[in-house]
Amino acid sequence: MKIYQIMWLAIATTIALIVILDFSFQVQLQVDHKPIKDIQDLFLEGKIVAAKIYSNRTFQVMNNGLYLPRVKPAERIELYFESMGFLKRTKSLKFFIEPDATDRDEDGYPDCLMLDLKDSERFRNWFIWIAIDAFKNNTPLWNKDEMDCAGLVRYCAREALRKHDSYWFEKTKYTGPVFEDVEKYNYPNIPIIGRRMFRISKGRFRDSSDFSTFAVARILYENSMKFATKDINFAIPGDIMVFFHPEDFEFPYHLMIYVGNLGIADHQGWVLYHTGPIGEGPGELRFVKFAELARLDPSWVPNAKNKYFMGFYRFKFLH
């Protein structure tokens, strides 16, 4: 008889503990809605008692709240809390990390879109090698209607900002080296502007209507890029070389990607570009040594003495 009494006592105690856990369940967290411009840690002050926690991101429970490491601008955070007993009391918390739309330097790009040194390097690595891969292979994602000098830059910029997962590799047939992805944001989910990553108007940032998914060479370099240098010694691989030939009424502006020496040569490196239409043909991609541009035509000499050479430019969102 005592065995049954002990057993029933154990069961009653367990049920009591479960009920206590259910009714002890508490989730009280204060969400900070202040806009952010950079990746940063976020601490939600409050109380979490007798709760299992599920989330779409990493977290750490602290004595006085919840710690969320490396939160990104425009990130959507989902937290789900469940009691530990049979009654399964629950609570969910979803919130949006507001991106800082301030344009303090008035360059037309909100501060939250600026990439730091590491992310800028990641972007440049992908940008260069996606261009090289497009030259080596007939990439299926590059729209045939956009195959010109500006179209190459737009294509490489978009793909450089993507998450390069197995699905991306399968779609692009990319065969080049693999790098870390840009961490702060990824195309097409860019804070504030979404997939419209190219500016089409001058001046400081007003709203997303300043941007478009498409921009011709002149609009691209005038609004989405900043002048860097006319001296190759101060250029960075991934910079865009801009030329202007006013006598060419149809295509006066021309863009080339400065590839650099890829760490494998002792010269100033290579340049990759699309010629644009040649006669009745669609033109072609060319991958040439920097020093050989002068041999093609004096108007393509990339130095300060050439009046047709506007200089090396780089995207405004890069460090």
Distance CA(45)–CA(34), nearest Å, equals: 14
pLDDT computed for residue 45 by the predictor: 95
Rounded (10°) angle between helices 149-160 and 117-136? 130
Query: pLDDT tens for residues 78-111?
Result: 999 998 867 788 999 999 999 999 999 999 999 9
Does 296 score more than 80 pLDDT? Answer: no
Give residue 294's pLDDT band: very low, low, confident or very high (50, 70, 90): confident
For the chain, the residue count is: 319
Tokens, residue 63: 């004595």
Does 14 score more than 90 pLDDT? Answer: no
Give mean pLDDT, residues 158-162: 98
- In a 13 Å sphere around the CA of 279, the CA atoms on its Cβ side amount to 1
Q: Which residue has the higher pLDDT, 17 or 272?
A: 272
Q: 70 with 37: CB under 8 angstroms?
A: no
End-to-end alpha-carbon separation of the chain, Å? 78
Percentage of the chain modeled with pLDDT above 90: 75
pLDDT computed for residue 32 by the predictor: 83
pLDDT computed for residue 150 by the predictor: 97
Q: Burial-class residue 92 by CB neighbours within 10 Å (0-12, 13-18, 19+).
A: exposed
Give the chain's mean pLDDT. 91
Q: Is 124 helix (H, G, I), strand (E, B) or coil?
A: helix
- The alpha carbon dihedral of 107, 109, 113, 118 has a sign of negative
Domains of the chain: 2-96 (2.60.40), 111-315 (no CATH)
pLDDT computed for residue 249 by the predictor: 78
- The alpha carbon dihedral of 197, 200, 202, 203 has a sign of negative
pLDDT computed for residue 23 by the predictor: 64
Distance CA(104)–CA(160), nearest Å, equals: 26
pLDDT computed for residue 278 by the predictor: 83
Tokens, residue 205: 């940032």
Q: Which residue has the higher pLDDT, 87 or 200?
A: 200
Q: 70 with 47: CB under 8 angstroms?
A: no
Q: 262 with 256: CB under 8 angstroms?
A: no
Give mean pLDDT, residues 242-256: 91
pLDDT computed for residue 2 by the predictor: 65
- The alpha carbon dihedral of 127, 131, 134, 137 has a sign of negative
Cis omega (within 30 of 0) on the bond before 188? yes
Which of the 8 DSSP states describes residue 179? -
Token pair 């090289």 in the structure block, residue: 132
Does 295 score more than 90 pLDDT? Answer: no
Give residue 204's pLDDT band: very low, low, confident or very high (50, 70, 90): very high
- In a 13 Å sphere around the CA of 41, the CA atoms on its Cβ side amount to 7
Q: Which positions ≥6 away from 198 have C-beta within 8 Å?
A: 154, 157, 211, 212, 213, 214, 215, 219, 220, 223, 224
Query: pLDDT tens for residues 254-288?
Result: 999 999 999 888 888 999 999 988 878 889 999 99
